[in-house]
Structure 1
Amino acid sequence: MNWLLVIAGAVVGAPLRYLTDRAVQSRHDSVFPWGTFAVNVTGCLILGLLTGAASAGAASSHLQLLLGTGLCGALTTYSTFSYETLRLTETGAGLYAVANVVGSVTAGLGAAFLGVSIAETVWS
């Protein structure tokens, strides 16, 4: 039964990632991978909210599987982040590559902490 929840979340997360990535990237005339950046930071925020809700007892293990493992697992993409960073480096856009790494890690952690903080405020 648990694997069905993961699959259901992924069925929504994977196309959402692709569509969001394309929509965001089409609005920027830059080599910086804004689409991947946006989905990864959004996924970190969702996981932070879910973690905070789970800590407060407001999120069941089923919801964690559906949203955390399924949705966010398919929504976020470490492999694409790595590939795009490598591609930036190989094409001579080293500063963009560094900005992608530093910005993604900083914004991702910030979004996760913000999500936990919001969830603790709401469910405490």
Structure 2
Amino acid sequence: MGHGLTSVLLVALGGALGGMGRFAISNLLARYLGKAFPWGTLAVNASGAFLAGWMLGSLGIASAPSPLWLFTVAGLLGGYTTVSSFSLQTIELWQGGQQLRASVNIGATLLLGLTMVSIGWLLSGASLPGATL
């Protein structure tokens, strides 16, 4: 099996597992917290950002991604996090007359995502570029 095919299979396997995780967590949170706000999507995007930051700090970015990077970041986290669900849920809130909830979803997703990726990066033992602590 060629290197290119192996890479595609690693991303595909990770993506399938990540998508199943997103589905399970989103449904679980919707069941317990209700569907008035997309808590599940916010939770998976925030936790995925944290894990992506941690992986980036731990593995770095190489010119040729490692099999671990392909499986976890490109596949698993790529399938786990979701911009499409975030976008659709935000539009649904807006069109349903819930402009404040739609705006909170946008702000919370961006701020929480950036915060979580930074925390993940820092917890990996790496320091943020340009940061002095």
- State the TM-score, normalizing by the size of structure 1: 0.90
Q: Map of 1:11-90 to 2, 5 A cutoff?
A: 11-55=16-60, 61-90=66-95
Select between 29-38 and 80-89 the one with higher mean Cα deviation.
Answer: 29-38
Where does the alignment leave 5 or more consecutive residues of structure 2 unmatched? 1-5, 127-133
Seq. identity, %: 31
Where does the alignment leave 5 or more consecutive residues of structure 1 unmatched? none
Counterparts of 1:18 and 1:105, CA distance in 2: 21
- After superposing on structure 2, the runs of 4+ consecutive aligned residues of structure 1 that deviate more than 6 Å are none
Q: Identify the structure with the greater helix proportion.
A: 1
Q: Is the 8 A contact 1:56 1:120 kept in 2?
A: no
How many residue pairs match? The answer is 119
- Alpha-carbon distance change, 2 to 47 in structure 1, aligned in 2, over 3 angstroms: same
Q: What is the aligned-residue RMSD (CA, Å)?
A: 1.6
Computing the radius of gyration from Cα coordinates, the structure with the larger value is 2
- Alpha-carbon distance change, 29 to 11 in structure 1, aligned in 2, over 3 angstroms: closer
Counterparts of 1:56 and 1:19, CA distance in 2: 30
- Alpha-carbon distance change, 78 to 56 in structure 1, aligned in 2, over 3 angstroms: closer
